Structure 1
Amino acid sequence: MSADSDPTLRVGAHESIAGGTYNAVDALVDDGGNCGQIFTHSPQVWQSPNIDDDEAEQFRAASDDHGVGPWVIHSSYLVNLCTPKADLREKSVGSMQEEVDAADRLGVPYVNVHLGAHTGAGVEQGLDNAASALDELDIPESVTVLVESDAGSGTKLGGDFEHLAAVLERSEQDLDICLDTAHAFAAGYDLSTAEGVEETVAELDEVVGLEHLECVHLNDSKHECGTNKDEHAHVGEGLIGEEGMRAFINHEELRDVPLVLETPTEDGKSFAWNIERVRELRE
């Protein structure tokens, strides 16, 4: 079966909502994708999603018309669930509540979030903080929060699969996860060979459970395994490389998981180039 006729391949990218969230749908289709991710506002500031009912309906209708999905909302970069600081925690919880509510309006099933940094509180306290912060959310039934794996620099949590498992276990919410391949590689999980991919997927299954893996951020890495440096590269052209990416994309346990690209736009290579690259690597 060729990739183009493989109905299980869901691949897309993080698209801009400039001019309205519904514009992300057209951008995704233009790039050749069939699932995707958006921010509801600038991720660098504390800001509320400004999405009215008409815009939400246009987004839903456009997604349905083109048969694309699932979509993921990526939360603000300022959110820090692990923080010991009460004011930052309050802002983080408030921001996440707005995101899950926006997801419900848009018909988006997932909101993705980084755990953040414990900033000296310690790993266990940071994980407790994250779980209890998530427990404060009133998450609509149609929405699931995904905890994303991290590159693990400084005091950021989520670099170890055990961190993800701990938050899922300690929280009262029904949470799942998003695996970022570049982050996992940076955190020390070697995805550059078929053997490494097999070992990493097996470990993820043992520690967290693959039933919790609802999305993958498929990114190659500009830095070596275990460096904790988070900088994305084009699919197959970074240090994970073609062998690792091919093995990951074709892993029998991962074939149905949506792949969302956050690859750079440089060297004349766009999201469309990377999406096509994924299709070429799919067997």
Structure 2
Amino acid sequence: MTLKVGAHVSISGSKVSSDPETPPHGNLADAVFRQTQFGGNCGQIFTHSPQVWQDPDVGDEEATQFREGTARDLDGPWVIHTSYLVNLCTPKAGLREKSLDSMQKEVDAAHQLDIPYVNVHLGAHTGAGVEGGLDNAASVIDDIDVPDDVTILIESDAGSGTKLGGDFEHLAAVIDRTTTEIDVCIDTAHAFAAGYDLSSADAVDEAVAEFDDVVGLDHLQCIHLNDSKHECGTNKDEHAHIGEGYIGDEGMERIVNHPALADVPFVLETPTEDGRGFAWNIERVRELRHD
């Protein structure tokens, strides 16, 4: 089994040099360079600021540099994370249309960049109810023209308020209701906050078995590997350094070595604080791995 571990890296900055021997200076192609600097071999990006409605703006040369750099320097895969404004579960027609348009542009960008996955939160039902929200999410997904080489991943949530995705059953329900082939990304901090204990080897084994029973491990294509600053079941989403939160070393060690998870790409969204960032956390994952 090959350890695939990397970080969510920024693409902000100026344009990349056309000289492949010159380190890039901060656009989409720079994500490859930054990933190698952190010691990662796969990863995740936003194609634009996640706080606004904005279309990906990827030029042909930039896309070529990204694809060539990835093939040359990384094992892959990359994941595109959609805007935080996207809400698949919304009952509001205007927000649904904006979310659908944004999703369409993200899957098209993924196709352009040879990125196999687009990751999205289900969002909040805001009064439509759980069943109504799940129906809405499936409806939006089925209205997207997804390229054959791209798969939408629905991400697990911490489960606060009317947000859906905190229960494995929510993920399974959307898979069952959509005619589109979709898969899942589990965020360990979110799952922990939603009440799935991951703080011991036995707890991880139980959670993995439950996921397999409810959703199916064949649908798990990515893991956002994050520790949690808050206790299990608090519904509070705040990430901690690997092994430094309430999941801790034992839980993290079992996650990265569990035979059903060990070959799944691990993408870190850990904080940069206390003098430690992605490089420290990626190295910590490698230390916990038994290969």
User: In structure 2, what is the Cα distance between the partners aligned to 1:255 and 1:231?
Assistant: 24
User: In structure 1, what is the Cα distance between the partners aligned to 2:75 and 2:40?
Assistant: 8
Q: Determine helix, strand or coil for the equivalent of 2:154.
A: strand
Q: What does 1:45-60 correspond to in 2, within 5 Å?
A: 45-60=52-67
Instruction: Give the partner amino acid of 2:184.
Output: I
Report the counterpart of residue 255 of structure 1 in structure 2.
262
Following superposition, which runs of at least 4 residues in structure 1 exceed 6 angstroms of deviation? none
Is 1:197 equivalent to 2:191 in the alignment?
no
**1:259 Cα deviation from its structure 2 partner:** 0.1
User: In structure 1, what is the Cα distance between the partners aligned to 2:146 and 2:114?
Assistant: 13
Q: Is the 8 A contact 2:204 2:251 kept in 1?
A: yes
**1:52 Cα deviation from its structure 2 partner:** 1.3
Identity %: 71
Q: What does 1:105-254 correspond to in 2, within 5 Å?
A: 105-254=112-261
Q: Determine helix, strand or coil for the equivalent of 2:97.
A: helix
Q: Which of 75, 80, 88 matches 1:68?
A: 75
Q: Which of 26, 42, 60 matches 2:33?
A: 26
**1:128 Cα deviation from its structure 2 partner:** 0.2
Instruction: Give the partner amino acid of 2:56.
Output: P
**1:65 Cα deviation from its structure 2 partner:** 1.1
Is 1:77 equivalent to 2:84 in the alignment?
yes
Instruction: Give the partner amino acid of 1:17.
Output: I
Q: Determine helix, strand or coil for the equivalent of 1:150.
A: coil
**1:68 Cα deviation from its structure 2 partner:** 3.1
Deviation readout 1:212-246 (Å, 9 max, x if unpaired):
00000000000000000000000000000001000
Q: Is the 8 A contact 2:32 2:74 kept in 1?
A: no
User: In structure 2, what is the Cα distance between the partners aligned to 1:21 and 1:171?
Assistant: 31
TM-score norm. by structure 1 comes to: 0.97
Q: CA RMSD in A?
A: 0.6
Deviation readout 1:145-173 (Å, 9 max, x if unpaired):
00000000000000000000000010010
**1:261 Cα deviation from its structure 2 partner:** 0.1
Instruction: Give the partner amino acid of 1:75.
Output: T
User: In structure 1, what is the Cα distance between the partners aligned to 2:39 and 2:45?
Assistant: 16
TM-score norm. by structure 2 comes to: 0.94
Is 1:10 equivalent to 2:22 in the alignment?
no
User: In structure 2, what is the Cα distance between the partners aligned to 1:255 and 1:263?
Assistant: 19
User: In structure 1, what is the Cα distance between the partners aligned to 2:49 and 2:114?
Assistant: 20
User: In structure 1, what is the Cα distance between the partners aligned to 2:70 and 2:98?
Assistant: 31
Runs (5+) with no aligned partner, structure 1: 1-6
Is 1:271 equivalent to 2:265 in the alignment?
no
User: In structure 2, what is the Cα distance between the partners aligned to 1:104 and 1:54?
Assistant: 15
Larger CA deviation: 64-73 vs 190-199: 64-73
User: In structure 1, what is the Cα distance between the partners aligned to 2:74 and 2:164?
Assistant: 35
User: In structure 2, what is the Cα distance between the partners aligned to 1:110 and 1:94?
Assistant: 17
User: In structure 1, what is the Cα distance between the partners aligned to 2:57 and 2:2?
Assistant: 33
Runs (5+) with no aligned partner, structure 2: 13-25
Report the counterpart of residue 3 of structure 1 in structure 2.
none
Deviation readout 1:19-66 (Å, 9 max, x if unpaired):
311101000001000000000000000000010111110100110111
